[in-house]
Amino acid sequence: MESSSPILTAHGAAIPAIGFGTSMLGGRAAEAVAAALEAGYRHIDTAWKYGTERGVGDGIRASGMPRGDIFLTTKVSHEYLRADDFERSTNESLRTLRVDQVDLLLIHWPNPDIPLKETIGALVKMKRQGLTRHIGVANFTTVLLDQAISLCQELYQEPLVTNQIEVHPYLDQTKLLAACRRHGMIVTAYCPLGRGRLFGDSVLAEIACSKGRTIAQVALRWLVQHGDIIPIPRSSNPQRIAENFQVFDFTLSEPEMARIAALKRANGRIANAMGRVGAWD
């Protein structure tokens, strides 16, 4: 099946508007990635911390899809943000994936015990060595994001193209989304389905029923319809993998978008960093 995903652009990066997440897939990663590519995905997200890089690489090769047709992201974990460790981790990821470079390399979580200046320098070095085409961050607050972008601009004149953060209807990320837009960045949304918490929601169920869609499709459509948010849903079920990709052939009305936005709640956050980010926005 040919991809019908729109492409979002930021600072020279062209990224398919929906990606396939691979966290927690374990030994199912290769089969799931191959199914995702068959369903039309051309954007695959992994990380050293997930333990799925080998499976992602195997799934890409099993699919027969040319490497150049796939936008591939991986991440360096917070334990390895010192310069030498960062480079070793990046090279290990490339060896495990069995690729020469990734399309996007991210700092997975910030680490307050390691100077951000050192980590940003290491990240930029990976780009300049050709190990990644683009660079970005994940789980950065507005304060950390401003600091990272200042370092990138002032020292290297290199852009950060994305901040990968938790985004779904139950979590209010208004402030951080606005910061990313101010910097001309794309937001990559992990946990876009709230790790299943959205599936019992009556508002989403009502909208889904009215459109003949699944709750997952409605939640994902809500994200992509913002125009600068790329969700990366995860599943090991081939039918759900395919359904989650089918979000570009219907539209939510402005009142429906507003009803979904109103679902945010104080306890909506799923992923936490045990103090790595300081105060969340």
Token look-up 């508007």 returns 17
Burial of 255 (0-12, 13-18, 19+ CB in 10 A): exposed
Could you tell me whether strands 13-16 and 20-21 are parallel, antiparallel, or unpaired per DSSP bridges?
unpaired
Which 3 state secondary structure label does DSSP give 99? Answer: coil
Which 3 state secondary structure label does DSSP give 215? Answer: helix
Helix pair 116-128, 142-151: axis angle to 10 deg? 50
Within 24-144, strands assigned E span 43-45, 71-76, 102-107, 132-138
190 is catalytic: no
| Residue 212 CB neighbour total at 10 angstroms | 8
Q: Say if residues 44 and 73 touch (Cβ distance below 8 Å).
A: yes
Selecting among 50, 80, 170, 190, the annotated active-site residue is 50
Q: Say if residues 49 and 108 touch (Cβ distance below 8 Å).
A: yes
Token look-up 């085409």 returns 133
| Residue 195 CB neighbour total at 10 angstroms | 15
Q: C-alpha angle 89/104/193, rounded to 5°? A: 100
Active-site positions read 50
